[in-house]
Amino acid sequence: MTTPHHHWTLDVHPSELRVLTNGYQSWSEAELRPLTETQTRASLEWMIDQGQDPAFPPSGEAGVWRSHSLLALIRPGGGGWVGAQLDAAHTFAHWEVRAAGEQVLVTCTLEGPDVAVAWEETSNVIGTVERLSAQLGQSMHARTPAPLRVWCSWYSYYRSVTLDNMLDNARLAKQHGLPFDVFQLDDGFQADLGDWTEPSEQFGGHAKDLPAELRKLGFRAGLWLAPFLVGPNSKLFAAHPDWLLKNRSGTPLLFGHNWGGQYAALDTTHPEVLVWLRELAATCRAWGYDYLKVDFLYAASHPGVRHDPSVSRAEAYRRGIQALREGLGDDGFLLGCGAPLSASIGVMDAMRTGPDVAPYWDDEARRMLLGDGSVPCSRNALHTALSRWYQQTWYQPDPDVMIARRERSLLSDDERGALLGMLDVIGGLRASSDPVEMLDEAGLSLLRQSLEISTPDRPLTLTESHGGAVTHFSRGTFNLQETPADRVQPHSYRPNPT
Ligand code: 9PG
């Protein structure tokens, strides 16, 4: 494996520049920040595992910013520099920019086979970011099917979802004429991570019994899987220890922290694992699911010892998702989540481009005190999804759900408006998790509004920001901060007068 290294020295004072970064996977922070500030490194190892790239996490030094696949530096007039890898199927590109006295140093290190890297000085950073990202999308044969409108069980029922919850909501949605295309069952139906074909106790049925009922109501059936994860107490873990990603001493690597503890990952350089993944996706398809939300995908590219050590992390990941695509079929809809972003182009139909929305604005303790910018909350979802507007040429963006309900939600009207504004500006998939019975007339009307497909908007400027992200779009302005800015209230979106 080669590691070519590109570097550039810029004769510009660091205090003049802003930096636009792209985090590693769906939930990793993407930001627009003054170069002299500090990129936050999560303080706990499992948070780095789950929200950053463990092989290339933020350094935590002032004036040093790390970015994946592409990077932009913005001068006060809107010009600057843009760097981007031009192929991402087998190689991760690690960008670093460093304030060094009166100069700025930029490096790009490739992890994997050599690929072309663009570095351009430009008078219009927005246009150049869009052009280079579109070029990357084209060269990797990006799939951008029509966006779908999805009801997803996660953000109301979480892991306690039942078969009846799904059917009750689908029936009510039909009664109200809500324009959903897909009803998608999320985490909670399965016995364990890896044991996908066995039901959990609380689900009250089997996932295979749902699609036919949904189809009778006029909906397509969608299913969530974390296909590369293996629970340490699962049957899969006990049956196939040889299929797992290892640490240097040869024992299965346990990392991250969710479902009450750590988890293991499948080694997608092992040929038997690829067969198993293909069969898993084909089984779901045979059950009647033609929409799969495949989650926690960074597990396939987690650093570790693999069956075939000559395979790059990006390539290992790509083999895993290609096996899923083959099992699902070319006409199935594949939504990635928690996924290395540019390495997914051409395989995924849609991609989560930010952290989870939650029925509250912020999780300050985890974000501020523990440095975890990928923790679920509406503020983090907006911050990162808005700063990735240009990724619409890689797949359909999924900026996550609207939360229209007032019951069991701490969001204010302004905060709901900010979610609605984000969906309109970013475009792509539309989704809701609200129990339909919880919605009054106002809630139903807000939900209908949020399900209207939009054409993505473009930023107006990258030289200003209300909160460390891309916040100024041609249709309106977001304020992610705690105080009013330019007549935009805190936590809100203000459409421009038309
Ligand atoms: C199911 C959920 C939903 C959701 C996904 C993903 O950092 N974290 O601890 C973290 C946990 C869960 C999570 C994201 C981050 O949510 O994004 O839509 O499918 O899994 O478990």
DSSP 8-state symbol, 367: I
Say yes or no: CB of residue 259 within 6 Å of ligand 1. Answer: no
Cα–ligand 1 centroid distance for 154 (angstroms): 9
Q: Are residues 43 and 91 in the same domain?
A: yes
Instruction: Give the pLDDT score at 2.
Output: 45
Instruction: Give the pLDDT score at 69.
Output: 98
Q: Are residues 166 and 257 in the same domain?
A: yes
Say yes or no: CB of residue 400 within 6 Å of ligand 1. Answer: no
Cα–ligand 1 centroid distance for 356 (angstroms): 7
Q: Are residues 183 and 128 in the same domain?
A: no
Instruction: Give the pLDDT score at 294.
Output: 99
Say yes or no: CB of residue 256 within 6 Å of ligand 1. Answer: no
Cα–ligand 1 centroid distance for 224 (angstroms): 11
Residue 346 lies in a domain: yes
CA dist 487 and 477 (Å) reads: 10
Q: Are residues 136 and 209 in the same domain?
A: no
271-287 vs 313-328: helix axis angle to the nearest 10? 30
User: What DSSP letter does each residue of 274-285 carry, written as one string?
Assistant: HHHHHHHHHHHH
Boundary of a domain, candidates 336, 371, 398:
398
Q: Are residues 185 and 333 in the same domain?
A: yes
Q: Are residues 181 and 38 in the same domain?
A: no
Say yes or no: CB of residue 258 within 6 Å of ligand 1. Answer: yes
CA dist 7 and 167 (Å) reads: 56
Boundary of a domain, candidates 123, 140, 157:
140
List the residue whose alpha carbon is closest to atom 14 of ligand 1.
356
Say yes or no: CB of residue 390 within 6 Å of ligand 1. Answer: no
Q: Are residues 111 and 160 in the same domain?
A: no
Q: Other CB atoms closer than 10 Å to residue 434's CB: what's the count?
A: 26
Say yes or no: CB of residue 224 within 6 Å of ligand 1. Answer: yes
Say yes or no: CB of residue 223 within 6 Å of ligand 1. Answer: no
CA dist 155 and 262 (Å) reads: 22
Q: Please give, one letter per residue, the 3-state secondary structure of 59-99.
A: CCCECEEEEECEEEEECCCCCEEEEEECCCCCCEEEEEEEE
List the chain residues with pLDDT less than 70: 1-4
For the CA of 375, the closest atom of ligand 1 is: 7
Q: Are residues 64 and 168 in the same domain?
A: no
Q: Are residues 306 and 200 in the same domain?
A: yes
List the residue whose alpha carbon is closest to atom 1 of ligand 1.
187
Domain of 271?
Answer: 149-353+388-398
> Which uninterrupted H or E stretch holds 128?
helix 125-139
Cα–ligand 1 centroid distance for 326 (angstroms): 25
Cα–ligand 1 centroid distance for 376 (angstroms): 8
* Sign of CA pseudo-dihedral 18, 20, 23, 27: positive
381: left (phi over 0), alpha (psi -120 to 50) or beta: alpha
Instruction: Give the pLDDT score at 5.
Output: 85
Residue 434 lies in a domain: no
Domain count, the chain: 2
For the CA of 257, the closest atom of ligand 1 is: 9
List the residue whose alpha carbon is closest to atom 8 of ligand 1.
375
DSSP 8-state symbol, 290: E
Boundary of a domain, candidates 105, 140, 175:
140
Q: Tell me the pTM.
A: 0.98
Q: Are residues 69 and 153 in the same domain?
A: no
Say yes or no: CB of residue 268 within 6 Å of ligand 1. Answer: no
Tell me the CATH number at 323.
3.20.20.70
Say yes or no: CB of residue 106 within 6 Å of ligand 1. Answer: no
> Which uninterrupted H or E stretch holds 372?
none
- CA distances 468 to 79, 166, 380, 459, 481, Å, are 19, 38, 11, 14, 9
Residue 361 lies in a domain: no
CA dist 127 and 427 (Å) reads: 18
Q: Are residues 181 and 258 in the same domain?
A: yes
Residue-wise pLDDT tens digits, 61-92:
999 999 999 999 999 999 999 999 999 999 99
Provide the 3-class DSSP secondary structure of residue 45.
helix
List the residue whose alpha carbon is closest to atom 16 of ligand 1.
356
Residue 222 lies in a domain: yes
Identify the CA nearest to 68 among candidates 88, 49, 50.
88
Residue 269 lies in a domain: yes
Identify the CA nearest to 465 among candidates 138, 100, 74, 123.
74
Say yes or no: CB of residue 50 within 6 Å of ligand 1. Answer: yes
Say yes or no: CB of residue 65 within 6 Å of ligand 1. Answer: no
Cα–ligand 1 centroid distance for 361 (angstroms): 16
Q: Are residues 216 and 318 in the same domain?
A: yes
Instruction: Give the pLDDT score at 1.
Output: 44
